[in-house]
Amino acid sequence: MIFISPVANAKYYDNCKGALPISEQSFYGNWIESKGKTTSFVSYDPNKTFSGRIEIENKSVWEFKGKWYLIDNIKYMIYTYSSLKEIPIGYEDSDEILEITCDEYKFRNKSGRLGIVKRENT
């Protein structure tokens, strides 16, 4: 079971930024992205780890965790655990952060898909 921090947002919410360049503190906390029947939950912690899961119709289909870091406006994630064999340990993913506020961030992934991720209300 992947742990999503229940208090992360309350602790770091006031530290979020709205402009580029982006600080790592802007990401601390719990985030949700919904696309149709699919919902992603990810928690970014100050110790540079992340954990999360993806659900389809409220059923977990993928759990993951790893290490993350930020260079300029690119967020990198290296997976240290994945319940899917298609995403092997050591796989590195990245998103270009286009905009971030206290409540959401907009990104473009490596394949060019645009997305909006919202901070989870706690």
Asked, for residue 1, whether it belongs to a domain, the answer is: no
CATH number of the domain that residue 16 is part of = 2.40.128.370
pLDDT digits (tens, 9 = 90+) for 20-50: 568 888 899 999 999 999 999 999 999 999 9
pTM to 2 decimal places: 0.82
Residue range of the domain that includes 37: 8-119
DSSP string for 6-31: SSHHHHHGGG---SSSPPGGGG-EEE
- Kindly state the percentage of the chain with pLDDT values over 70: 82
What secondary structure letter does DSSP report for 120? P
Number of separate domains in the chain: 1
pLDDT for the residue 9:
42
pLDDT digits (tens, 9 = 90+) for 47-105: 999 999 999 999 999 999 999 999 989 999 999 999 999 999 999 999 999 998 889 99
Task: Output the average pLDDT for the chain.
Answer: 86
End-to-end alpha carbon distance in the chain = 20
